[in-house]
Structure 1
């Protein structure tokens, strides 16, 4: 059973959802980045997934500073269930889900996302370029997505399968009507974000804002490292779900690409640890 506090009547059109579990080290930075946004009347819904550190105290200290509702889970939910529980709380026209260890890299992030979605009613979700940072916010790398202003989800999904990399990125704005009854699919863990992004825009276009607007943090606590062993099987499942034929040679190529990308990600993790020495 979850315990929730409420909020008064407001004019918000945009909700930021933040799922957090034992996030005391970073969740304050995520909330600070939301508080610094130029977009007014933003709702924040934070779900504390039965954390055992001092996450609850940090969230309470932020409650007077944001239009924020805190949901406290009585027991720790599996990640997909936790994220889906948050999706059920959306009441505004637009939303984004911000992981507690990431943060918005530009004060205009939400304003630009809402503007893009409002001006392009045929678009389901807005994406951007991103920066990878270490626990101390030191820049590790920048990821630039080379694509048009409007892009097709099936092409991005196919590119994800052929490259073994998330070719959507992190959505900074999603239309609630496009989400509808869609939720995170329990068969995906490593690829859960790709799957939902693909499903969201499969019958609509997505839009790309060619600016670095979100920071994706790499640390030893990232679930990525624990889930790398599932990457190949989940990529195969993505191909099956979205009717991408592989064939024997295609599957062999998929195995090789996944192996190489996994090794690169492990090296990137090592680079992050080296870069973090002394921070």
Structure 2
């Protein structure tokens, strides 16, 4: 089997039908659908069964597990998969109808590549979101670390250096060899956010990436997204956790410059966290500084700048 599409879902009865239909109606048919129900307490399980039963030719299964987070759900889907390549889709996003056929063509053109991705359209509800419409162009604007070949982008071994700023690889527009995901140790289940950045970064250290210069999915930014701007401090804190985790593994990096880039990112994130926390509450700020003395000591200048910035905003 060529592809396994893995959809993790928790209490997604209102959106899962749209996601499943976008998979079931693919023009390329050599695939299976695995829905991992992450302990939903609403009617998600019944909705999945009902929608999938409308497609007699669809090869599918629903795996029901206790609520352990989306990284665990995706890992479980990978382990259950029979396909050579894994495609991920979040329950509130959708595939274009040509999604799988485009990745199939790419894998034929680049048989030695294990990691593929494409662009994604962004649909936003709510004024809080940045009004981005796609991902790939923003990644390519970071520097010269790729070769263009018709509708494809072949990334060099420098890709990790440019992913440090943020992956800009949309989860719902990827096709990764199952064996590559196994080899790098799956998603890190200790992360509840930015787990995608961690995965793409670790994959890029060992494998080359090719991108299709087309949008093949739609990402929906809405008020219930875990990455919503209103959760800025929480999300920065989680990004900081992932960055520190990668720094801890940096002795294995071939390029020592990567470690410096990650440390600089750690400094930037910590400064942003201090700023946003101080704008909310000096009590929270004091707790943050007290519980992160090593980071305060490590990034003294960034700490002072962030505190000064927050104080100026309050005056």
> TM tier, shorter chain?
0.7 to 0.9
Match of 1:250 in 2: 264
1:197 aligns with 2:200: yes
- Shift in Å, 1:100: 0.6
Aligned length: 244
Match of 1:92 in 2: 83
1:57 to 34, 42, 46: 46
TM-score, normalised by the number of residues in structure 2: 0.68
* Map 1:104-119 → 2, pairs under 5 A: 104=95, 106-119=96-109
In the superposition, relative to structure 1, how do residues 37 and 67 fare at CA in structure 2: closer, same or farther (>3 Å)? same
* Alpha-carbon RMSD: 2.9
Match of 2:143 in 1: none
Match of 1:188 in 2: 191
In the superposition, relative to structure 1, how do residues 259 and 113 fare at CA in structure 2: closer, same or farther (>3 Å)? farther
Match of 1:80 in 2: 71
In the superposition, relative to structure 1, how do residues 120 and 27 fare at CA in structure 2: closer, same or farther (>3 Å)? same
In the superposition, relative to structure 1, how do residues 69 and 255 fare at CA in structure 2: closer, same or farther (>3 Å)? closer
* Map 1:82-231 → 2, pairs under 5 A: 82-104=73-95, 106-134=96-124, 141-146=132-137, 147=140, 148=146, 149-152=153-156, 155-161=158-164, 163=165, 165-170=166-171, 171-181=173-183, 182-225=185-228, 226=231, 227-228=234-235, 229-231=237-239
- Shift in Å, 1:155: 3.2
Match of 2:31 in 1: 42
Question: What secondary structure does 1:179 align onto?
Answer: helix
- Contact (CA 8 Å) 2:85, 2:175: kept in 1 or not? yes
Return the index of the structure with the highest Cα Rg: 2
- Shift in Å, 1:76: 1.5
- Shift in Å, 1:188: 3.1
Question: What secondary structure does 2:167 align onto?
Answer: coil
Question: What secondary structure does 2:268 align onto?
Answer: helix
- Shift in Å, 1:79: 2.9
In structure 2, distance between residues paired with 1:220 and 1:21: 16
In structure 2, distance between residues paired with 1:215 and 1:240: 34
In structure 2, distance between residues paired with 1:108 and 1:46: 20
1:70 aligns with 2:62: yes
In structure 1, distance between residues paired with 2:105 and 2:271: 37
In structure 1, distance between residues paired with 2:114 and 2:178: 8
In structure 2, distance between residues paired with 1:248 and 1:101: 31
In the superposition, relative to structure 1, how do residues 77 and 248 fare at CA in structure 2: closer, same or farther (>3 Å)? closer
Q: Which has the higher contact order (CA 8 A, sep 6+)?
A: 1
In structure 2, distance between residues paired with 1:166 and 1:157: 9
- Shift in Å, 1:256: 7.4
- Shift in Å, 1:187: 4.0
- Contact (CA 8 Å) 2:247, 2:262: kept in 1 or not? no
Of Structure 1 and Structure 2, the greater helix share is in 2
Mark the runs of 5 or more structure 1 residues left unpaired by the alignment: 1-11, 264-279
In structure 2, distance between residues paired with 1:249 and 1:59: 43
- Contact (CA 8 Å) 1:150, 1:207: kept in 2 or not? yes
Match of 1:14 in 2: 3
248-257 vs 220-229, which deviates more? 248-257
In structure 2, distance between residues paired with 1:239 and 1:155: 18
